[in-house]
Amino acid sequence: MEFLIIASAFIGSILAGLFGGGAGLIFTPTIFLFLSHNNPDASHIMQTSITTMIASLMLSGVVAIFKHHKYNHIDWNALKWSAPLVICGSILGCFTMTYMSSKAIIYFFSLATILLAARTTKKLLNNEKKDKKTIKASWGFKYPGSFILGLISTLSGSASFVVPYYEKIGLNIKQAIGTTTVVVWLYSVFVLIFMISLGFHENNLPAGNVGFLNYQYLWLFMIPTIPGALLGAKISSILPERKLKISFVILLYVIGISMLFS
């Protein structure tokens, strides 16, 4: 079981470094299965899994940010106006998640991810060109969209929706991935604070919890994430843009379908 945790952490951190998100595909189900096996009668296991997954990526997230900055993959102007709104949405997501069942969170995430993957597939097949001027002028898409993005990302425990959003406002795929890496790290700080605080008064949590954070096995997830994040960011700088988009679409399908049937 410990080997499974370390392996999933390494693979998940590669995905996070490569796509700016997606580690939840590997991390969250692994933590969920592990905690369910060791704490069959505990409650709020899905909430604990998402919170612990986020905590395990904090250190590697800093490493990935420096690497993406080195490769000039971060759009700091887009970050300035979008990050505060994403953070506000993620805070609302923390409160919402405490009142949702694990099954509801899984269905919500799975269906949204599959729809996003289908839309992106259609765009790639049709070779559509982005109208950046029209999208950038859309106040309704940029600002409320950032807030909703934070809400969805927190509820699903995945940043897979953030990269397509930044592409929509005019960033190329590599800038979208680098900017997503920074935004995910920033809102993760707030999610951790709120999820730990909101879980203090909950009963029947898994052993080793502080709020919704399980610290008992956190180090097993954290150790492999740094080399994984470095490798993922490096691959992101080398891989051609269209191949990166195709890889991202495949990841979306895997995420959505695997979680739907879990």
Contacts of 218 (CB under 8 A, 6+ apart): 52, 55, 56
The closest alpha carbon to 18, from 188, 176, 204, belongs to 176
Strand partners, 53: none
**DSSP codes of every residue in 235-250:** HHHHS-HHHHHHHHHH
The per-residue pLDDT for range 32-85, each reduced to its tens digit, is: 888 888 888 888 888 898 899 889 888 878 888 998 898 889 999 999 999 999
Q: Dig out the tokens for 97 from the structure.
A: 């998640």
The per-residue pLDDT for range 194-250, each reduced to its tens digit, is: 999 999 988 889 888 999 999 887 877 787 877 887 787 778 778 776 777 787 788
Q: How far is CA 139 from CA 82, 89, 144, in A?
A: 12, 17, 8
**DSSP codes of every residue in 112-157:** HHHHHHHHHHHHHHHTPPP-HHHHHT-HHHHHHHHHHHHHHHHHHT
Q: Are 22 and 184 in contact (CB under 8 A)?
A: no
The closest alpha carbon to 9, from 80, 58, 46, belongs to 58
The per-residue pLDDT for range 149-205, each reduced to its tens digit, is: 999 888 877 777 788 889 888 888 889 989 999 999 999 999 999 999 999 988 889
Q: Are 187 and 86 in contact (CB under 8 A)?
A: yes
Q: What letter represents residue 75's amino acid?
A: D
